[in-house]
């Protein structure tokens, strides 16, 4: 299950990372002639779609099942990305990115629920981090595609590669099982037990056919009920602030580093290093979280990320800069991944995808604010270092917010 969800997250990572990888080419397009603010608005169009997708598809997967929503998300964002590659105007490009964002927004809550429900409790953080490494490697793949194709062939072929997962969809449909927890709630007890036996999954304690009832959309409001409110507030604040950092850097890092005096090739590769380090760092942080606890591990990671981002405000030798960028990736993307793993394991299975989807949808406002903040600073002509000061502050506030989540009682 982790491997299947890894493929979905890889496709999502490419879809999101490709915009940052082609941003220098988009801004240099002689026909579109984008300003920094217009480029920021194009970046935010996908994030608006993700806001919608997280609310809608995260909740829907708790109602109609994980499998259908997982496959539907991949089909939606891959097809829309392919259309974006041939969009004749910035407006149509933005509309395609918005539709793509709906599918992307639903992928994380659905995949989070699947991995959490199939992984042994003592290994959930590391399994989740392994699954989510696909997202970071997808961003790295987008950076590599940009490095090899952008200068010679322009931005459109780089974006078109994001439609490739459509070819894999029949294979994923054949291999992907439904969640046993959902099957039990749906009254398909025999099938639930067969899947549970096949994958070595323990069915949720107390989940009996006699307890079944048709789920209602109003059930989603339980995340705000007494006993959940403080945790919900802590998770929402952490993810909002973390998304400002992650999406701000994902979108603007190549352009910021180029403005700081680095050549185009290294500037694009900085995004790849940022993503690749976060994929490895996520697994390391997952191991640490399973051993020492998720809250302290996440807070420590965000604090380290703030320090690394501050270091980027100075011009270092190229090799040193790659190391600092890697540390920033671990202290932002990897930390944010672990927040979602923590969230997915915090709530019960019938509320899990809803809790993740609603939280991540709220945090998309931070994901929109991050690119727009970078665009505004570029438009104002402020010093490059100002970007890093702001992103470092957001990372530090994330570290404090996660510590507000109450420890879950056994």
What is the tens place of the pLDDT at every residue in 14-35? 998 898 889 888 988 889 988 8
Name the nearest CA neighbour of 58 among 344, 304, 314: 344
Asked, for residue 213, whether it belongs to a domain, the answer is yes
Residue 219 has a pLDDT of 65
Asked, for residue 410, whether it belongs to a domain, the answer is no
- Interval 327-333 mean pLDDT: 91
Determine phi and psi for 208, rounding to 5 degrees. Answer: -115, 150
Q: Which of 87-96, 165-174, 192-201, 208-217 has the lowest mean pLDDT?
A: 208-217
Write out the two tokens for 306.
């703030």
Q: Is the pLDDT of residue 70 over 90?
A: yes
Q: Is the pLDDT of residue 368 over 90?
A: no
Q: Is the pLDDT of residue 83 over 90?
A: yes
Name the nearest CA neighbour of 54 among 14, 111, 137, 118: 111
Name the nearest CA neighbour of 99 among 177, 175, 45: 45
pLDDT confidence of 187, banded at 50, 70, 90?
Answer: confident
Convert the pLDDT of each residue in 285-312 to its tens digit: 988 988 888 899 999 999 999 999 999 8
Question: CA–CA separation, 340 vs 107, rounded Å?
Answer: 13
Q: Which of 172-186, 216-230, 311-325 has the lowest mean pLDDT?
A: 216-230
Asked, for residue 98, whether it belongs to a domain, the answer is yes
- The count of domains in the chain is 1
- Among 104-118, 296-310, 364-378, name the most confident range: 296-310
Q: Is the pLDDT of residue 216 over 80?
A: no
Asked, for residue 407, whether it belongs to a domain, the answer is no
Convert the pLDDT of each residue in 248-271 to its tens digit: 887 777 667 776 677 756 666 787
Residue 171 has a pLDDT of 95
Asked, for residue 408, whether it belongs to a domain, the answer is no
Q: Is the pLDDT of residue 218 over 80?
A: no
CATH code of 303's domain: 1.20.1250.20
In whole angstroms, how far apart are CA 129 and each of 45, 109, 124, 286? 27, 14, 8, 6
Structural domain containing residue 373: 2-402
Asked, for residue 209, whether it belongs to a domain, the answer is yes
């Amino acid at each position: 299950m982790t491997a299947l969800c890894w493929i979905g997250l890889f496709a999502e990572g490419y879809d999101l990372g490709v915009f940052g990888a082609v941003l220098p080419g988009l801004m240099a397009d002689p026909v579109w002639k984008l300003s920094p603010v217009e480029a920021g608005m194009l970046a935010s169009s996908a994030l608006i779609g993700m806001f919608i997708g997280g609310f809608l598809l995260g909740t829907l997967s708790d109602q109609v099942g994980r499998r259908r929503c997982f496959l539907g998300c991949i089909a939606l964002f891959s097809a829309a990305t392919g259309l974006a590659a041939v969009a004749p105007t910035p407006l149509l490009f933005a509309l395609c990115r918005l539709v793509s964002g709906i599918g992307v927004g639903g992928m994380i809550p659905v995949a989070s629920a699947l991995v959490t429900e199939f992984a042994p409790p003592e290994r959930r953080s590391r399994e989740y981090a392994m699954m989510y490494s696909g997202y970071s490697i997808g961003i790295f793949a987008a950076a590599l595609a940009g490095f090899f194709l952008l200068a010679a062939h322009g931005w459109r072929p780089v974006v078109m590669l994001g439609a490739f997962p459509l070819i894999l969809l029949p294979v994923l449909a054949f291999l992907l099982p439904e969640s046993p927890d959902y099957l039990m709630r749906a009254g398909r007890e025999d099938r639930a037990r067969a899947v549970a036996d096949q994958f070595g999954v323990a069915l949720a304690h107390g989940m009996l056919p006699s307890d079944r009832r048709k789920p209602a959309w109003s059930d989603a409001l339980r995340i705000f009920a007494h006993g959940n409110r403080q945790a919900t507030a802590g998770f929402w604040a952490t993810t909002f602030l973390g998304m400002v950092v992650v999406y701000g850097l994902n979108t603007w890092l190549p352009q910021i580093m180029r403005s700081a005096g680095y050549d185009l090739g290294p500037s694009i590769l900085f995004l790849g290093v940022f993503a690749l380090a976060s994929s490895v760092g996520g697994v390391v942080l997952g191991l640490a979280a399973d051993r020492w606890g998720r809250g302290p591990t996440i807070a420590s990671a965000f604090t380290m990320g703030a320090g690394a981002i501050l270091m980027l405000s100075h011009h270092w030798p190229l090799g040193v800069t790659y190391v600092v960028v890697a540390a920033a990736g671990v202290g932002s993307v990897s930390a944010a991944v672990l927040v979602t793993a923590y969230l997915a394991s915090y709530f019960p299975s019938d509320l899990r995808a809803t809790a993740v989807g609603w939280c991540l949808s709220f945090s998309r406002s931070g994901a929109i604010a991050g690119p727009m903040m970078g665009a505004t600073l570029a438009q104002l002509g402020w010093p490059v270092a100002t970007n890093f000061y702001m992103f470092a502050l957001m990372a530090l506030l994330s570290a404090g917010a996660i510590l507000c989540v109450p420890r879950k009682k056994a």
